Amino acid sequence: MTTTRLQVDTDRMTECFLSLARLDSLSFHEMRVAYRLKIELQALGFDVTEDGAGAHYGSECGNLYGILRGTSEKPPVLFSAHMDTVAPGLAKKPQMAEGRITSDGTTVLGADDICGIVEILEGIRLAKQDPAGHGDIEVLFTMGEETYGKGATVFDFSRIRAKDAYVLDMSGPPGAAARKAPSIISFAAEVKGRAAHAGFAPDTGINALQTAAKAIARIPQGHVSDQTTLNIGTIEGGAASNIVPQQIRCSGEVRSFDHEEALRTADRIRDTFREECEQSGAELAYDQTVHIRAYETPEDAPVCRRFRAACRQLGLPGHLKATHGGSDNNIFAQKGLSGIVLSCGMYRTHSTEEYTSIGDLARGARLVAAIIGQR
């Protein structure tokens, strides 16, 4: 018997999803979910530990790592999903109707990333029933992922035995995976001019808004190359309509599949603001943060081959693509793991219209089991 013939217990899986979705789990407040997952993993036979990420960030809990010893010579494999959700995510009330799970419309559902968690747990249950056995199975449930992978950043990856990682954290039906994701750099430019009365003495002021506007007008936005996007998303400042604006702050982000190009683009933004400030006599305070670094997993890497083979067994598309979103896999790649990010049946994430379906959860669980079954 293979895992493709084993049946998902949809009642158990659904109840697991609903119970997790009801728990508050905003970033750095994942303790309730972590406690539940410890129990689930231990019941499955995992050795489970919680690391010191919680103490590092002054939050409620750390990352959960578990390992289930193998029963065959198959290679070890790592599955990962994150425990935190975005706001509004307090007092979530998941609703069931005709095979679809939604929130009540006042909060997110938390399908991002409860879908990934539930599919990993149910997939492991299926794999344990396979008479062919399994290799070592490792899981890493991270905290703080929604804040650019904070939990994964401080995890001790020397503990990981697997070379391949499957991160269940992408929108869309099971059967697709991202093997490429961008660097993300945020930036903020604060232009400091001089206030003056706009009616009596405008010429004595230095208009920070005009200076910032000139800089922004020189900066291309949107797709600035095949690899890179740039967006200035906020601008704020000024005191009143009759005062020459003294201080303006602009913020935005750069995303690029080429890390060096991302850095050069951010440098050009800084230089453009600096040049305009020098022209007007304003001062510039500029800062930027590299949140995650781009990666690209080769199509012929073992992690991709095992994914495609598992999809063929289940009649799933097995598409490999690029994503413009970041995930813990950006961190994993920096730590030497070969990984991809699997779509897991979550839709309209980061909104109060977020939803998933029982069918997608079941397909995702079978895919996890089929990956475990690969040699």
Residues noted as catalytic: 84, 145
Phi, psi of 291 (to 5 degrees): -85, -50
Q: Count the alpha carbons within 13 Å of 296 in the hemisphere toward its beta carbon.
A: 9
Question: How far apart are alpha carbons 276 and 315 in whole angstroms?
Answer: 57
> In the structure encoding, which two tokens stand for residue 54, read together?
């919680």
Instruction: Identify the burial level of 11 via C-beta atoms within 10 angstroms of its C-beta, where 0-12 means exposed, 13-18 middle and 19 or more buried.
Output: exposed
